[in-house]
Amino acid sequence: MAEPTTNQLDVALAHAERLLGRDPVLAIEQANAILEAAPQHPRAEMVKARALQWQGKPEGDAAIQRLAREQPRWADAQFELGRLRAAAGEFERAIAAYRDALDLRDRFPIAWGALGDALYATGAFLEADDAYANQIRTSTSDPVLMNAAAALCANKLAPAEAMLREHLRNQPTDVAAIRMLAEVGARLGRYREAELLLTRAMELAPSFAAARHNLALVLLRQGKILESLREIEALRRAEGDNPQYRNLQAAALARLGDYDTALAMYADVIREQPREPRLWLSYGHALKTAGRTDEAVKAYREAAKLNPDFGDAYWSLANLKTFRFGADEVTTMRAALGRELREDDRFHMHYALGKALEDAGEYEQSFRQYAEGAQRRRACVDYDPDYTSDQVQRIKALFTPEFLAGRGKGAAARDPIFVIGLPRSGSTLIEQILSSHSQIEGTMELPDIGAIARELGERKLRSQPTKYPEALASLDAEQLRALGEGYIERTRIQRRTNKPMFIDKMPNNWLHAGLIMLILPNAKIIDARRDPMATCFSAFKQHFARGQAFTYDLTELGRYYRDYVDLMAHFATVAPGRIYRVQYERLVADTEQQVRSILEYCDAPFEPACLEFYATERAVRTASSEQVRRPIYREGLDQWRHYERWLGPLRQALGPVVTE
């Protein structure tokens, strides 16, 4: 029989190695066939030894030990010897074998990870950290991670997640893969999951700066600002002048309301890095929130000038609402859309061009741009409208008058005023009016109630996970009081004055109105309501950075609005008078009377300053930030009617809600 060629052997060996994890018996058969043709072939013997190990047969261990003795210069044999010793709890001997393997082959990420595990098991945490750092350094050659990275770059999150989870089943301490999986979670808005993954990566590799930076960002997106600042400070201790870290620190300080410090930091970084478009964008966001609109426009335009394909810069200009694009800027956006663009830049550009064409009165072309942007954005988000509908029905089933009456009194605090509803429903206007009162402080859209709800859903009852809101049924009066007091404590960082009341304007808290009633029975809840067609279309043409995944499809938008109205109607029945509804159209038509009524509900005396809300100087983070710095205007009430002919799917999904 003819000797097998090297190529034939390589093909047969690759097939045998693929069989290892799926079918050890077939792997042994394939290895035996190779050994018959090429006796004592090391790779074939290793396949057979590992397959025997998979079957729990001791001769597999003996074969690996023999191969390691016979092949002292073969990195794979020394690595397998290390794994054998680690499995037996002989960590010091395992470490020696792993180091032998790595001396022979530096670019061996799985061996670096295994060395890190063994060092970690012996308490050599600093050395383990160094090993994990080397795993990251050498992982660029790992084909699984390379493929997962390519999927992430293409925003193909589902295949990236599948690849990474499978990889981590086999290598659970691969910190590079952990970080990449956290990135998938963050892009899907699963911030708590991303936080846990990145925290684990930090435990394994404290000097893994990229993962720490990701962790700081994920914490910031959850509103955990102090925790985020702690991670940023750790990064800056190691690399104080890094502009990326300083930029993130400025963003965190801005979230705390420390705009003077934040803007000074941005300005310093930009002086050093004047050609970095994203720095100019971040600077523009802070200037906008602080009310320095003209400077924000200049910053956004500088970002667009530095990178004409930077969709977010154009959308940020459009998102000022009071800004109008010039003809040359419209031409630039059209030209950009004719080129190859990153998906993120493309959908931002579609939204921005939609706004420019709306201002020009070209409504059909404007709608096409909004719809294209929304369709592309929808493909990037994870949203299930059935989940929202199911959650509403479960909340209604739980929150009966008897349930509300029997849950105790919660925390006694009277501080919070919650403004809930849908985005683009007039909630920012209500917030600005109330914030003009001497006894009421405006903060921002606080994530804390949603975080409490998620934490309740993650608790275990009798060793089984319990869903939210059903988890509330297991809490006694003392636990509910503690949750309410915990909310007051965790939001204290957002309060900059000694005013007795403050506003939490997170629209999505409509889903948690029942939770608020239980833990903060003295809190005020205002439902900001606007014409459903106007609200939904305004949300549809708005690109949200995160958190409003239901807004990118007209039918899903209509369903979401119906669920919201359904739940508010339920609470009006089981807890009458507990939630105060403010109708935007009435607020515009009869401002003074409506303002007096809102203040009366909030137990605050009328103050004329609330009618001159546009003169109140404060930071406003939402899309309406520039609009609420002007007197009330009526022109926008029926703006949606310019698009009515294309909104059939929305009207149909809204159903009877449209006429209510």
The domain ranges of the chain are: 1-56, 188-211+221-378, 387-659
Q: What is the band of 7 on the pLDDT scale with cuts at 50, 70, 90? A: low
Q: For 459-508, write each residue's pLDDT tens digit.
A: 654 444 568 999 999 999 999 999 999 999 989 888 888 999 999 999 99
Q: Is the pLDDT of residue 27 over 80?
A: no
CA-CA distances (angstroms) from residue 179 to 109, 201, 210, 352? 15, 7, 8, 33
- Name which CATH class applies to 387-659: alpha beta
Q: For 572-628, write each residue's pLDDT tens digit.
A: 999 999 999 999 999 999 999 999 999 999 999 999 999 988 876 544 444 444 444
Torsion of CA 572, 576, 580, 583, to 10 degrees: 50
CA atoms within 13 A on the CB side of 573: 10
User: Position 415: which residue type?
Assistant: D
Q: What is the band of 263 on the pLDDT scale with cuts at 50, 70, 90? A: very high
Name the token pair of 487.
């909310």
Q: Burial, 353: exposed, middle or buried (Cβ in 10 Å; 0-12, 13-18, 19+)? A: buried
Average pLDDT, the chain: 87
Q: Is the pLDDT of residue 654 over 50?
A: yes
According to CATH, the topology of domain 188-211+221-378 is 1.25.40
Give me the pLDDT at residue 131, please: 81
**How far apart (Å, rounded) are the C-alpha atoms in residues 406 and 477?**
9
Mean pLDDT value of segment 378-405: 93
Under DSSP, is residue 583 helix (H, G, I), strand (E, B) or coil?
strand
Q: What does the angle CA 89 – CA 92 – CA 94 come to, to the nearest 5 degrees?
A: 70
Q: Which residue has the higher pLDDT, 248 or 56?
A: 248
Q: For 67-96, write each residue's pLDDT tens digit.
A: 999 999 999 999 999 988 888 888 889 999
Give me the pLDDT at residue 540, please: 96
Under DSSP, is residue 576 helix (H, G, I), strand (E, B) or coil?
coil
Mean pLDDT value of segment 241-246: 81
